Structure formats: C-alpha cells, structure tokens
Amino acid sequence: MQINSDGSLTPLSSSPETAINGQYLAASPTLPLLFTYSFANVIQSLIIKPDYSVALFTSSQLPPVAFVGRPSVDPSGSNLYLPTIIDTSGNTGVMIFPANGAFTRLSTLPVPGIGRTPVVFTPDGNQAFAATCITGGPESIVSFSRHSDGTLTQSSVFTLPGTCQGLKQGWLQKLQNLAVSADGRFLATTEVQIYNIASDGSLTPVVPQPFTVLYSDGNPLGVSDLTWDSTGSYLAIATYGPNGNVDEGGIGVLNFSGSALTQTVPPTGGPLIRLMRTGSFVYGMGCTYDIVNCGFVTPLSGYLFQNGQLIRLPGSPYVGTYPDLVIY
C-alpha cells in the first residue's frame, strides 16, 4: 500500500507482494531493504525497487526453532536483531546479523525468557531494551548497551511485580511491546507504565502505578501495542477487550504530562494487535478471530494523530489481509 499525502492508502500496482512470505517484518532505516522471517525457519531480505515493489534479495535457513520474535534494525541501519530460541535445549536469546542482507551471524546473545517482542533502541542507538518472561516467574525489562560492532552487553534488569503466564499466553503478558520516546528519555510499555531512561540504561518508573485503560462501558482493556507522537506528550495505544473480547477495544490516546498518564481519547474501532506511526499518521492492524489466538487480521485502520487527537483518514479502513505491518 502507498501512503498518500493525506495519509490515505492505495494499493501499489505490484500488490499483492508475493515476495513477502514472512511472519514478521522489519524495515531498514537507511537502505532499501525489508527483513522477514517465515514459518519455514527462513530469514529473508527483500530489496525495495524504485517503484516500491519488492523482490527477494537474500535468504538464509535457520535451525528449526519453536518460535522467532519480531526482528528489528538499529537506528543506524547497521544491524538486524532477531529474538529466538538459540540452541537445541530451548534457551532463548538474540541473534545479531549485519543489516545489509548478508546473513552471516555476527553474534548470539543469551537472554533468558525473551519473547516475540522486538528489541527496541534509543534514537542514538546506544541503548537497547527487551521484554522477558520466565514462565511462572517474573516479567522483566532488560537494558543493554550497544557497541559500535552491533553487539549488546546487558547493563541492568527491571523486574515487574507478579508472575508471567508464559509465552503461550503471549497476549496476556504485560510487556507485549515497548516504545522509546523521540527524545530517548522515556520507555513506554504495554503494562501501561512509563520509565525514565538513565544514562546507563537503568529504568525508573515515572507513574506511581501502571495505568488502567478503560473502554466506554468502564471495562478495563489490555494494551497490545503503543507508539509515541513526535513531541513525547501523547501515546497512541492499541487495545483489546477482556479475555480477547472482539467487541471491545481499538485505538485510543493517552496524555503524558511527565509525571502522570491520562486517557484523553477513548479506544474505538475494535481490537488491535499492531500500531505503526509515520509522521502524523498512525495505522492499526486488528484481528478477525480473537486477540489471544489471532489467526487472520482485519483491514488496516488509519488516523491523523496530531495534538493528541485522532481523525480517521479518508478511505479507512483499508481492505486487505495483512500478516504484519511495517512502513518504509
């Protein structure tokens, strides 16, 4: 889909893109490359042509694993980070590759309990964060320092109270996604909590307790994804109803004052599992089955996200079936 000047989406002439055959997508911020992982344990790089169609560039077969998480590329476009099971014993960690399409593994970092949530970075790329879940144990946010060669060194761990229900109940975890503010000062999580990021990467909660997002009927909602606006004053949130209720949830907005969160735009439009922002436009991907056992996704919804307000874009929702959402 092409993003028009008013934020609306129109199919490219190459749609559907048959070269995209993956479970998760990541885009390079510096090169015309997309990265995707397929159910056949194949990681691929796709080159973006001048007409914005895509074609297979390189691919590599990974060892059979139980799961792979969403890949991510650091802000400099140097390295690709893939959360996955890293050995035959089922231990989890992050595989690190160059982000030029050459899938020569640079290093593998053990990270116990890392799930499908991607590794996220501060805008300067010097710090990274990952969510972890030890079944029957804690959920934590692990902070890393990132070195010039792309390797990561763990710097701190912030452990949440309570226990994690396990990766098989991924949509019931508190830390489904993480988002760093544009100035690199704050980390937002789907608990919903805001953390101050110290110079050494350690985290301190800013809000006295996690914020509870409410639907119009007063029911509490789960948050599956979130994204900051460019000012760091507002968060767009993707929400879903209790027990995966497909009748509640949608996209909403929270205001962040620096010390508190308030719900300024109630969630609407139906449950969502992914959000992606570009400039003042935000797009959400939902689910047709239920949030816990998401099978196929609904058409994309799009909004102008400006000054803490959401205005539905022309033509939204956009017809189609999307395995993942990425903007390039």
Distances from the Cα of 314 to the Cαs of 3, 290, 309, in angstroms? 11, 27, 16
* Side chain identity, residue 243: N
Tell me the pLDDT tens digit for each residue of 207-231: 999 999 999 888 899 898 999 999 9
- Model pTM score: 0.92
Task: Work out the average pLDDT over 106-121.
Answer: 92
What domains can be seen in the chain, in order of their start residue? 68-312 (2.130.10.10)
pLDDT of residue 20: 80
pLDDT of residue 181 exceeding 90: yes
Segment of 45-54, 127-136, 230-239 carrying the highest mean pLDDT: 230-239
- The lowest-confidence range among 4-18, 104-118, 124-138, 174-188 is 4-18
C-beta contacts of 38-43 below 8 A and 24+ residues apart: 41/65, 41/68, 43/71, 43/82, 43/97, 43/103
What are the φ/ψ torsions at residue 91 (nearest 5 degrees)? -70, 145
pLDDT at 322: 61
Is 172's pLDDT higher than 70? no
pLDDT band for 168, please (50, 70, 90 cuts): very low
Q: Residues of 52-73 as b/e, b for ≥16 C-beta within 10 angstroms?
A: eebeebebeebeeeeebbbbbb
Query: Mind listing the pLDDT tens digit for each residue in 254-297?
Result: 999 999 999 999 998 888 888 999 999 999 988 655 545 555 55
- Summarised one tens digit per residue, pLDDT across range 246-256 is 578 899 999 99
Q: How does strand 54-61 pair with strand 42-48?
A: antiparallel
- Tokens representing 315? 């033509």
- CA atoms of 288 and 166, how far apart (whole Å): 23
Higher pLDDT, 85 or 122: 122
